[in-house]
Amino acid sequence: MERTNTIAMCYGPLDLRIEELPIKPPAPGEIQVGVKVALTCGTDVKIYRRGYPFLTPPFPLGHEFAGIISDVGRGMDRDLIGKRVVTSNGAGCMTCFYCVRGLDNLCEGLEENFDDFTQMGGGFAQYINVKAPIVRQNMRILPDNMSFEQAAMLEPVSVALHGINMADIKTGDTVAIIGAGPMGLLKTQLAKLKGAKVIVIEKNEDRLKEAGKKGADILLNPDDLDIISEVHRLANDGRGPDQVIEAVGHPTTWELAIDLVRKGGTVVEYGGCPSDTNIVVDTKRLHYDEIIVKGSYSTTAHETEAAFNLLTTGAILAEDYISGSYPLEQTKDAIEAHMNQEGIKFAIKPI
């Protein structure tokens, strides 16, 4: 008898439906996870609002999840069934030009075979089959004292950590973070763990207060002041921050990040902008001021391991980021609550 799976499917912008669909047994090398907790994410919100270029509707949503292995594919140890686990939502081929250089987030195999290496959705469901490369590289069995909520933070923490590592923060540096959404808040906390002085720039006063709770030293609302002059005044005796991390995803804030950083400083453009957008860069800043501008995309297997260590030690706590929970049938409500900034992240609990 064919098993069914209750799952949230996206049919187009703002069109999310809860359906009963067949679920296949896991393929060779795969695991099937009974989802206990899945978390909303800014990427889910963007996909819900405008679609995703690599996905053709209808497609499932949800990529931050943890649960219990309910079945395994051929070649997998059946003793894994019943284990509490978390995985990332992607993996590299580990053999291409970029993977062998530790840049598995830029994997050429992923570009050519997106569906084989990426788990973009399916976490907002009762069950999900996790792809074999992800199982091999990025599956973690949970310690007994680790909650499913804590484990489900693995993917966002690893992605935030990748951006922090790109910034190359040294103890005592001054870092400005533009945006205090979930990722900006995680980057704030991680920058503090690096020993930095952190300035957070955010228009939403509730989110600005959250940044203070995460350790930000200075909180600035750009609607209240000349943000460039003020940030320069507060950092390195008027020179500007050592690093600026953009965590909004808009061309204007990408350009602002470049305007804020000191000479010789580093800008990390993390927030994903809409397709076909561009920014204007003053060539003097790049040439004479020797600023470094980097993109930050996804994460690596090494950073996934590091994120798991941060979560198992309690350096980052899920309770500081999860603002509420919803049953699977109310996934649309949870995503819209996230979209409307009614909290930081929300937990979906299918089972």
Query: Do 232 and 143 fall into the same domain?
Result: no
CA-nearest of 34, 31, 35, 9 to 20 is 9
Query: Do 129 and 21 fall into the same domain?
Result: yes
Rounded to 5 degrees, φ, ψ at 347 are -95, 135
User: Mind giving me the DSSP string for 176-226?
Assistant: EEE--SHHHHHHHHHHHHTT-EEEEE-S-HHHHHHHHHTT-SEEE-TTSS-
Query: Do 261 and 241 fall into the same domain?
Result: yes
Is 230 exposed, middle or buried, given 0-12, 13-18 or 19+ CB atoms closer than 10 A? middle
CATH code of the domain in which 123 resides: 3.90.180.10
Query: Domain containing 344: what range?
Result: 4-153+316-349
Extended strands (E) in the chain: 4-12, 15-22, 31-39, 59-60, 64-72, 84-87, 127-130, 139-141, 174-178, 197-201, 218-220, 243-246, 266-269, 292-295, 322-327, 345-349
Q: Is residue 307 part of a domain?
A: no
Query: Do 70 and 113 fall into the same domain?
Result: yes
Q: Is residue 125 part of a domain?
A: yes
Long-range CB contacts for residues 97-102, cutoff 8 Å, separation at least 24: 102/300, 102/302
Other Cβ atoms closer than 10 A to 326 = 18
CATH code of the domain in which 289 resides: 3.40.50.720
Structure tokens at 206: 């509730």
Q: Is residue 309 part of a domain?
A: no
- What pLDDT is stored for residue 109 in this prediction? 79
Domain count along the chain: 2
Query: Do 18 and 71 fall into the same domain?
Result: yes
Q: Is residue 200 part of a domain?
A: yes
Question: Sign of the CA dihedral 62, 63, 64, 67?
Answer: positive
Q: Provide the 8-state DSSP code for 142.
A: P
Digit-coded pLDDT (tens) for 260-284: 999 999 999 999 998 889 999 999 9
CA separation for the pair 220, 161 (Å, rounded): 23
Q: Is residue 310 part of a domain?
A: no
pTM of the model: 0.95
CA dihedral 60, 13, 277, 295 (to 10 degrees): -30
- What pLDDT is stored for residue 105 in this prediction? 93
Query: Do 11 and 140 fall into the same domain?
Result: yes
Digit-coded pLDDT (tens) for 96-151: 999 999 999 999 877 667 666 777 789 999 999 999 999 999 999 999 999 999 99
Query: Do 168 and 241 fall into the same domain?
Result: yes
Q: Is residue 291 part of a domain?
A: yes
Query: Do 43 and 119 fall into the same domain?
Result: yes
Query: Do 239 and 178 fall into the same domain?
Result: yes
Query: Do 8 and 147 fall into the same domain?
Result: yes
Q: Is residue 303 part of a domain?
A: no
Query: Do 165 and 191 fall into the same domain?
Result: yes
- What pLDDT is stored for residue 326 in this prediction? 98
Structure tokens at 228: 């460039």
Residues of the chain short of pLDDT 50, as ranges, are: none
Helix axis angle for 205-213 and 182-193, nearest 10°, is: 30
Query: Do 11 and 148 fall into the same domain?
Result: yes
Q: Is residue 300 part of a domain?
A: no
- What pLDDT is stored for residue 274 in this prediction? 86
Three-state SS string over 42-84 comes to HHHHHHHHHCCCCCCCCEECCCEEEEEEEEECCCCCHHHCCCE
